[in-house]
A and B are shown apart, each in its own frame.
Chain A
Amino acid sequence: MKILVPIKRVIDPYVSIRVKSDNTGVETDNVKMSMNPFCEIAVEEAIRLKEAGKAEEIIVVSVGNQSCQETIRTALAMGADRGIHVLIDQTVEPLSIAKILSKIIDDEKPGLVISGKQAIDGDNNQTGQMLAALTDMPQGTFASKIEIDGDKIQVTREIDGGLQTIKLNMPAIITTDLRLNEPRYASLPNIMKAKKKPIDQKTPDDYGIDISPRLKTLKVIEPPKRQAGIKVENISELVEKLKNEAGVI
């Protein structure tokens, strides 16, 4: 079985976000970039399935500009087998990414797709579900545990009040939540080995996909700044303020 893992390059989660002064977006020039944390979890889960003998090959896909190749290399160094880079410089909406991925699924016929539940830049939380819709596959979103059982997969999902378990026919689309696993760091020998692993470069035209955006970002602003409040001396002053000034307890 092949596993397809779509990954996204985003601003590093520990970097402070700066809104551009012309309010057209967020500053990404000279900002440290990383693999989206939920995508790292997806790559890790695929590798664990391969190590457990449940999968033969892991293909990572990234859609975006030339530097996405670095992110693909990171996944290859973790243990994925080969990469597909769909080169595009403009911002692509989740629907378009899902369309590109659905064409790659037609070509590669993976038994499982594992993606992050959302990217921490756009916070859309859409691509996995959309890909499931376009391919008519079942979806196991926000997974904290997966177990392959013959031609089915049992997925434990993080839902608002706790956990839900569902069973899906395979092929299926899984999206990862935080508790699924702890991603590994790539070792130096594996980083060296990853340099020899193949990355196929494509463009949206190769797939005949119209990626024209449906959404237009009119402006991006900073959220209202919170002012530092006051320091209280002790608990009784704090409780008094919370009761009488803020009225929250």
Chain B
Amino acid sequence: MTTLFFIEHANGKVSDQSLKAISATKDLGEEVHGILAGTDIESVVEEASKISGVSKIIHIENDEFSNILAEKLTSAILDISDNYNYFCAAATTTGKNVMPRVAAKLDVSQISEIIGVESNDTFIRTIYAGNAIATVQSSDAKKVLTIRPTAYKAAEASDTGCEVEKINPENIPNISEYISEELTKSDRPELTSAKIIISGGRGMQNGENFELLDKVAAKLGAAVGASRAAVDAGFVPNDYQVGQTGKVVAPELYIAVGISGAIQHLAGMKDSKVIVAINKDEEAPIFDIADYGLVADLFQVLPELEGAI
């Protein structure tokens, strides 16, 4: 049988998240087909056809799929589901939106956000925001998986492209409609894909002081995050929030500034490769998990940091 992987793309390129997550499919031991959707995306289709390990690309060429809606994509995947025994996607907001709908239609229990494949029916995933790691075995004949991109390295490109099949699904449900998208206009990377994140906590004292973090972030090409305490205090909006009830991140470098290290926050960032903590309270729990700790007044050292990099 075969694995079907949903490939996302944006701005004329295959998404980095998909390139990473598709690397997990080689551990399933089956042939891998990629499926992607959109019109006038010949260069993306060509790029996808060269992803190492993919033996066929299925291209949904239909205007209804220019923006992915779960109802429509599920219907297209179900049309060809007899040919496949694994259905996979990156655990992005799109993957998380679509795949459980596919799973329920196939009467299958999805395994969400896996970080490892132990065997063809056994998978490793985190629960409780990474505070525990579960090994889960599925008895379903067909398996639906979402894959956490940060757990894998991006698949390489091969020199030659694989076969591409165009399909044009019929009887697409018309119960939902795309209206618009408002992507955050920022030179900064977004939190979930940033290589470096600098976050502020209650120690920042107010929203204006987040500018100090912005300046350092601009120099490092980093995203800016915040603890729940900073969000609750109204310093920054909720989409900055890193933590169990916010975004779970795992960048190469996480700099926590004026963050004490509540469990809530640690759950969202403790898988970062290198953690730096800057806090004037040397007893702050954040120092227990930081690789590099600096006990200092953040208002003094942030400008120094900006100047030193």
**A complexed with B:** yes
Complex CA distance for A223 and B183, rounded to whole angstroms: 34
Interface footprint category on B: 35 or more
Asked if A222 CB lies within 8 Å of chain B CBs, one says yes
Tell me which of A67-75, A80-88, A184-192, A232-240 binds B.
A232-240
Q: Which of A137, A218, A223, A229 contacts B136 (CB 8 A)?
A: A218
Q: Please determine whether A229 and B70 come into contact, CB atoms closer than 8 angstroms.
A: no
Interface digits, B286-309 against A, CB 8 Å rule (1 contact, 0 not)?
011111111110000100110011
| Given known contacts A215-B109, A226-B270, A235 and B304 CB-to-CB distance under 8 angstroms | yes
Tell me which of A107-115, A153-161, A194-202 binds B.
A153-161
Asked if B120 CB lies within 8 Å of chain A CBs, one says no
Q: Which residues of A contact B178 (CB under 8 A)?
A: 164, 166
State the main secondary structure of chain B at its contact with A.
mixed
Q: Please determine whether A26 and B127 come into contact, CB atoms closer than 8 angstroms.
A: yes
Q: Which residues of B contact A19 (CB under 8 A)?
A: 132
Q: Which residues of B contact A246 (CB under 8 A)?
A: 253, 274, 291-292
Complex CA distance for A229 and B292, rounded to whole angstroms: 6
Q: Please determine whether A26 and B181 come into contact, CB atoms closer than 8 angstroms.
A: no
Q: Please determine whether B263 and A248 come into contact, CB atoms closer than 8 angstroms.
A: no
| Residue of chain B at shortest CB distance from A231 | B293
Within 8 A of B (CB), among A203-237: 213-223, 226, 228-236
Q: Please determine whether A126 and B137 come into contact, CB atoms closer than 8 angstroms.
A: no
Q: Which residues of B contact A165 (CB under 8 A)?
A: 179-182
Q: Which residues of A contact B295 (CB under 8 A)?
A: 231
Complex CA distance for A25 and B104, rounded to whole angstroms: 25
Instruction: Name, among B96, B97, B102, B237, the residue most crowded by chain A CB atoms within 10 Å (CB to CB).
Output: B97
In the complex, number of A-B residue pairs with CB atoms less than 8 Å apart: 256
Q: Please determine whether A123 and B127 come into contact, CB atoms closer than 8 angstroms.
A: yes
Asked if B2 CB lies within 8 Å of chain A CBs, one says no
Q: Please determine whether B179 and A167 come into contact, CB atoms closer than 8 angstroms.
A: yes
Q: Which residues of B contact A136 (CB under 8 A)?
A: 173, 175
| B109–chain A nearest beta-carbon distance, Å | 4
Q: Which of A126, A228, A232 contacts B289 (CB 8 A)?
A: A228
Asked if B167 CB lies within 8 Å of chain A CBs, one says no
Q: Please determine whether B93 and A242 come into contact, CB atoms closer than 8 angstroms.
A: no
| Given known contacts A130-B101, A142-B93, A166 and B177 CB-to-CB distance under 8 angstroms | yes
Q: Which residues of B contact A232 (CB under 8 A)?
A: 292-294
Q: Which of B173, B190, B252, B301 contacts A248 (CB 8 A)?
A: B252
Asked if B110 CB lies within 8 Å of chain A CBs, one says yes
Q: Which of A126, A134, A154, A218 contacts B110 (CB 8 A)?
A: A126
Tell me which of B33-41, B58-66, B205-213, B238-246 binds A.
B238-246
Asked if A63 CB lies within 8 Å of chain B CBs, one says no
Complex CA distance for A176 and B46, rounded to whole angstroms: 37
Complex CA distance for A213 and B111, rounded to whole angstroms: 13
| Given known contacts A11-B128, A137-B175, A218-B136, A142 and B97 CB-to-CB distance under 8 angstroms | yes
Q: Which residues of A contact B305 (CB under 8 A)?
A: 235, 238-239
Instruction: List residues of chain B with CB under 8 Å of any chain A CB.
Output: 10, 17, 67, 69-71, 74, 92-94, 96-105, 107-113, 122, 125-140, 173, 175-184, 190, 192-193, 196, 220, 237-239, 241, 244-246, 252-253, 262-264, 270-271, 273-276, 287-296, 301, 304-305, 308-309
Task: Pull 6 A–B residue pairs with CB atoms less than 8 Å apart, ordered by A.
Answer: A165-B179, A179-B237, A214-B139, A219-B134, A239-B305, A248-B273
